[in-house]
Amino acid sequence: MTDLRESLSLSGGDGRSLKLRGIDTERDEPGHKPPTPQSDDGGNLNSRLTFKSFAEADSNSYALGRAKALALGNSLEYSPLQLTGPAGMGKTHLLHAIAHELSNAGRKVTLATAEEYTSDFVSAVSGRDGKGKQNKISDFKAKYRKIDALLIDGLDFFDSRSKPKSALELAEILNELDSKSKLVVITSRKNPLGLKLHEELKNRLQGGLPVRLSQPSQDDATVIVRHLAKTKGIKNLSVEAAATLARRRGSNVARLVSGINELSAYLEYYGREPTSDNVASALEMSSPAPEGAIEPSIVAQVVSDYFDRSWDEITSGRRTHDLTVPKHIAMYFLRQVCGLSVHQTVRFVGLKHHSAASRAVEEITKKIQSSPRDRDEIASLHEKINEAA
């Protein structure tokens, strides 16, 4: 992937299309009560996170297809399936959807976070909860080995961590499940082979299929918003109004869902129509500073660090290429992530003309839409901003 810090250039558009459809794979058989799988919080699976409720876009359609194929038993050779991508792109949603599908088919499923798995392992080998040690080990094996499918959320937990015993045990579990033709799915922000994992665990994952869920383009995000609005019962949400919400919440799918919930509550309480103005009012009321109260200074710091230029240099007024690109990207995030007005944005970066901010956002948006590599790099910057907030 071309690094923005090296090229400081983003490519042009290619007119990519968007497909969005609900995938109804849930079974509804009379008298059928599927077994309750383990979930990441020790309770039942999230009933809302199904294939049917997953909003498909170009950025995630391949991952959705592979997840469905595995859940339906058509692609065992791709196990372990590795769902990767920035936070909020739908990895956990697909993990739960797979678990629902398998459970409905009568399969025994364990879904756990990497942290929960580690806690279970430590508890099993120490017998700290009052049970005998042998009983605890037996319970652990029943949960993680005597199953049809193992789904682990957040393998990044093992990145650079000194947990060799739990990581080695997980590698052995994966080997055993593979030998029995059982299914394995994991999620992580990075490709697992790029993580600093126990060598045995990394070797075991090399035979799997890594599939990335990328950040959706602005157009994709707008269509996803309209899809989410329909599932929430919000009728007649125009493209313009949906685009307003997408711009204010960015391209993080989890934040789009949050925005739709805020809009739904606002419209229900005030009895108003879902116009662009009412969308803006709803988001202002529930979250005065969009994107989780991210301050403009955080954007300035992250962009400065990323491009290795001081904020004073970036806003100096010099129009050299190595300063113009980070300034445009900063204005993009100030508008999209911080929710600043055009006037506030140009003032923050030391410009005078309002049109400069609009042009910068339009330019970066077009470039994000045109190149998956550049979109992923902007998504990475977005994630750094969220982590710094």
Residue 3: inside a domain, yes or no?
no
Is 346 found in the same domain as 255? no
Select from 196, 212, 228 the last residue of a domain.
212
Place of tokens 């508008």: 335
Is 200 found in the same domain as 302? no
Full 3-state SS string of the chain: CCCHHHHCCCCCCCCCCCCCCCCCCCCCCCCCCCCCCECCCCCCCCCCCCCCCCCCCCCCHHHHHHHHHHHCCCCHHHCCEEEECCCCCCHHHHHHHHHHHHHHCCCCEEEEEHHHHHHHHHHHHHCCCCCCHHHHHHHHHHHHCCCCEEEEECHHHHCCCCCHHHHHHHHHHHHHHHHCCCEEEEEECCCHHHCCCCHHHHHHHCCCEEEECCCCCHHHHHHHHHHHHHHCCCCCCCHHHHHHHHHHHCCCHHHHHHHHHHHHHHHHHHCCCCCHHHHHHHHHHHCCCHHHHCCHHHHHHHHHHHHCCCHHHHCCCCCCHHHHHHHHHHHHHHHHCCCCCHHHHHHHCCCCCHHHHHHHHHHHHHHHHHCHHHHHHHHHHHHHHHHHC
Is 318 found in the same domain as 381? yes
Is 271 found in the same domain as 143? no
Bridge partners of residue 209, in order along the sequence: 81
| Mean pLDDT on 41-48 | 66
Bridge-based pairing of strands 81-84 and 209-212 is parallel
Res. 29 pLDDT band, cuts 50 70 90: very low
Handedness of CA 338, 343, 344, 349 (dihedral sign): positive
Is 103 found in the same domain as 89? yes
Gap between the Cα atoms of 117 and 111, Å rounded: 9
Gap between the Cα atoms of 76 and 82, Å rounded: 13
Cβ-count burial of 329 within 10 angstroms (0-12 exposed, 13-18 middle, 19+ buried)? buried
Residue 145: inside a domain, yes or no?
yes
**pLDDT tens digits for range 300-334:** 999 999 999 999 999 988 888 889 999 999 998 99
Q: Which of 22-31, 201-210, 219-228, 237-246 has the lowest mean pLDDT?
A: 22-31
CATH of the domain at 328: 1.10.1750.10
Q: Who's near 113: CB < 8 A, 6+ residues apart?
A: 40, 152, 153, 154, 157
| Mean pLDDT on 18-41 | 36
Residue 340: inside a domain, yes or no?
yes
14 or 337: which leads in pLDDT: 337
How many domains is the chain built from? 3
Gap between the Cα atoms of 256 and 221, Å rounded: 8
| Mean pLDDT on 190-217 | 88
pTM over 0.95: no
pLDDT of residue 42: 39
Select from 292, 313, 342 the last residue of a domain.
292
Res. 40 pLDDT band, cuts 50 70 90: very low
Bridge partners of residue 123, in order along the sequence: none
CA-nearest of 276, 325, 319, 280 to 304 is 325
Is 189 found in the same domain as 74? yes
Gap between the Cα atoms of 137 and 134, Å rounded: 5
pLDDT of residue 131: 59
Is 188 found in the same domain as 321? no
Gap between the Cα atoms of 154 and 289, Å rounded: 28
| Mean pLDDT on 179-202 | 90
Q: Which of 56-60, 222-226, 252-256, 283-287 has the lowest mean pLDDT?
A: 283-287
pLDDT of residue 129: 56
pLDDT of residue 35: 39
pLDDT of residue 286: 61
| Enclosing domain of residue 317 | 293-388
Residue 342: inside a domain, yes or no?
yes
What tokens does 201 get?
A: 């665990």
- Is the Cβ–Cβ distance between 113 and 219 less than 8 Å? no
Residue 107: inside a domain, yes or no?
yes
Is 273 found in the same domain as 230? yes
Residue 10: inside a domain, yes or no?
no
Cβ-count burial of 191 within 10 angstroms (0-12 exposed, 13-18 middle, 19+ buried)? middle
Residue 11: inside a domain, yes or no?
no
Select from 292, 321, 346 the last residue of a domain.
292
In single-letter form, the type of residue at position 150 comes to L
- Is the Cβ–Cβ distance between 67 and 119 less than 8 Å? no
**Residue 347: which region, alpha, beta or left (left: phi > 0; alpha: psi -120 to 50)?**
alpha
CATH of the domain at 157: 3.40.50.300
Handedness of CA 175, 180, 181, 186 (dihedral sign): negative
Is 39 found in the same domain as 126? yes
Residue 162: inside a domain, yes or no?
yes
Is 148 found in the same domain as 25? yes
Is 309 found in the same domain as 287? no
pLDDT of residue 97: 96
Residue 28 pLDDT more than 80? Answer: no
Cβ-count burial of 261 within 10 angstroms (0-12 exposed, 13-18 middle, 19+ buried)? middle
Residue 150 pLDDT more than 90? Answer: yes
Handedness of CA 343, 346, 347, 352 (dihedral sign): negative
- Is the Cβ–Cβ distance between 384 and 329 less than 8 Å? no
Is 240 found in the same domain as 349? no
Cβ-count burial of 42 within 10 angstroms (0-12 exposed, 13-18 middle, 19+ buried)? exposed
CATH of the domain at 285: 1.10.8
